């Protein structure tokens, strides 16, 4: 039987812990660690764009997730779906490698952008 003085993150008793080291009945360190991870109390990821709870458990390996961006984190379904509405262009690598001047490259990328925009 758990008492109200139980940390919901680690399950340990907090009745003897000083008030300054608690977040409610939870260890402050446990609560902060969980917050940094971007995980809800019930173990689900938090969307790195909007802060909403996702339907992905923290324990799910990244290879088995939808909406995970390496280096950024987990997105909710809404933010992941909205990402496809953003306009992206493909820049062929030969244009990048064969254009030594950054200003000229910028012009070529801008031209590709306007061509893509007019074709959509």
User: 3-state SS of the chain?
Assistant: CCCCCECCCCCCECCCCCHHHEECCEEHHHHHHHHHHCECCCCEEECCCCCCEEEEECCCCHHHCCCEECCCEECCHHHHHHHHHCCCCCCCHHHHHCCCCHHHHHHHHHHHHHHHHHHC
Spell out, as residue ranges, where the chain has pLDDT lower than 50: none
pTM: 0.43
* pLDDT at position 114: 85
Parallel, antiparallel or unpaired: strands 26-27 and 73-74: unpaired
* pLDDT at position 36: 61
* pLDDT at position 84: 55
What average pLDDT does the chain have?
83
* pLDDT at position 69: 87
* pLDDT at position 98: 92
Measure the CA dihedral 91/92/98/101, to 10°: 0
User: Are 106 and 73 spatial neighbours (Cβ–Cβ below 8 Å)?
Assistant: no
Least Cα distance to 24 among 45, 32, 43, 57 occurs for 32
């Amino acid at each position: 039987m758990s008492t109200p003085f139980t940390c919901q993150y680690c399950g340990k008793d907090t009745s003897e812990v000083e008030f300054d080291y608690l977040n409610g009945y939870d260890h402050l360190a446990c609560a902060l660690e969980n917050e940094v991870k971007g995980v809800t109390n019930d173990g689900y990821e938090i969307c790195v764009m909007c802060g909403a709870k996702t339907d992905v458990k923290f324990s799910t390996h990244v290879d088995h997730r939808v909406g995970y961006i390496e280096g950024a984190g987990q997105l909710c379904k809404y933010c992941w779906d909205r990402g496809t509405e953003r306009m992206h262009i493909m820049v062929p690598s030969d244009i990048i490698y064969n254009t030594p001047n950054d200003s000229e490259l910028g012009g070529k990328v801008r031209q590709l952008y306007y061509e893509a925009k007019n074709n959509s």
